Amino acid sequence: MWASSLSPASAAGGSAASARAGAIDNVLDQAVRSGMIVGAGVMVAERGRTVYQRAVGLADREAGVAMRTDTLFRLASMTKPVICVAALALMERGRLSLDAPVTRWLPDFRPALPDGRRPVITIRHLLTHTAGLGYGFLEPETGPYHRAGVSDGLDHSALTLAENIARIASVPLLFAPGTTWHYSLAIDVLGGVIERVTGNDLPAAVRNLVTGPLGLDTMAFTVPEGTPVAIPYGDGGAAGAVRMTDPFSLKFGPGHVVYSPSRAFDPVAWPSGGVGMLGTAADYLRFAEAIRTGGAGILKPESVAAMTGNAIGDLPVGAAGPGFGWGLGVAVLTDPAKAGLPLSPGSWNWSGLYGTGFWVDPARELSVVALTNTAVAGMTGPFPLALRRAVHAA
Answer whether residue 216 is part of any domain. yes
Residue 308 CA from chain centroid, whole number? 14
Name the residue type at position 331.
Answer: A
pLDDT at 12: 43
| Pairing relationship of beta strands 73-74 and 348-352 according to DSSP bridges | unpaired
Question: Does residue 367 lie in a domain region?
Answer: no
Does residue 294 belong to any structural domain of this protein?
yes
Instruction: State residue 5's pLDDT score.
Output: 45
The amino acid occupying position 360 is V
Q: What is the pLDDT of residue 194?
A: 99
pLDDT of residue 237: 80
Q: How far is residue 187's CA from residue 193's CA, in Å, rounded to a whole number? A: 9
- Predicted confidence at residue 115, as pLDDT, reads 97
What percentage of the chain reaches a pLDDT higher than 70?
96
Structural domain for 63, as ranges: 56-357
Residue 120 lies in a domain: yes
CA angle 82, 88, 94 (to 5 degrees): 145
Number of domains the chain contains: 1
> Which is it for strands 73-74 and 278-279: parallel, antiparallel or unpaired?
antiparallel
The one-digit pLDDT tens for each residue of the chain (394 residues) are: 333 444 433 344 568 889 999 999 999 999 999 999 999 999 999 999 999 999 999 999 999 999 999 999 999 999 999 999 999 999 999 999 999 999 999 999 999 999 999 999 999 999 999 999 999 999 999 999 999 999 999 999 899 999 999 999 999 999 999 999 999 999 999 999 999 999 999 999 999 999 999 999 999 999 999 999 999 999 988 788 999 999 999 999 889 999 999 999 999 999 999 999 999 999 999 999 999 999 999 999 999 999 999 999 999 999 999 999 999 999 999 999 999 999 999 999 999 999 999 999 999 999 999 999 999 999 999 999 999 999 998 6
Do you know the residue count of the chain? 394
- Residue-level pLDDT at 13: 53
**What is the domain-level CATH number for residue 202?**
3.40.710.10
Spell out the long-range contacts of 197-206 with Cβ–Cβ below 8 A and sequence spacing 24 or more: 197/90, 197/95, 197/96, 197/105, 198/90, 198/95, 201/271, 202/83, 202/161, 202/271, 202/273, 203/271, 205/86, 206/82, 206/83, 206/86, 206/277
Of the chain, the percentage scoring pLDDT greater than 90 comes to 93
Q: Is residue 26 part of a domain?
A: no
117-130 residues labelled b (16+ CB within 10 A) or e (exposed): eebebbbbbbbbbb
Q: Are 304 and 98 in contact (CB under 8 A)?
A: no
**Is residue 49 included in any domain, yes or no?**
no
Within a domain: residue 1?
A: no
Residue 9 included in any domain:
no
Distances (CA, A) of 386 to 38, 74, 339, 343: 16, 22, 14, 13
**158 CB neighbour count, 10 Å cutoff:** 9
State the catalytic residues. 77
Q: What is the pLDDT of residue 7?
A: 42
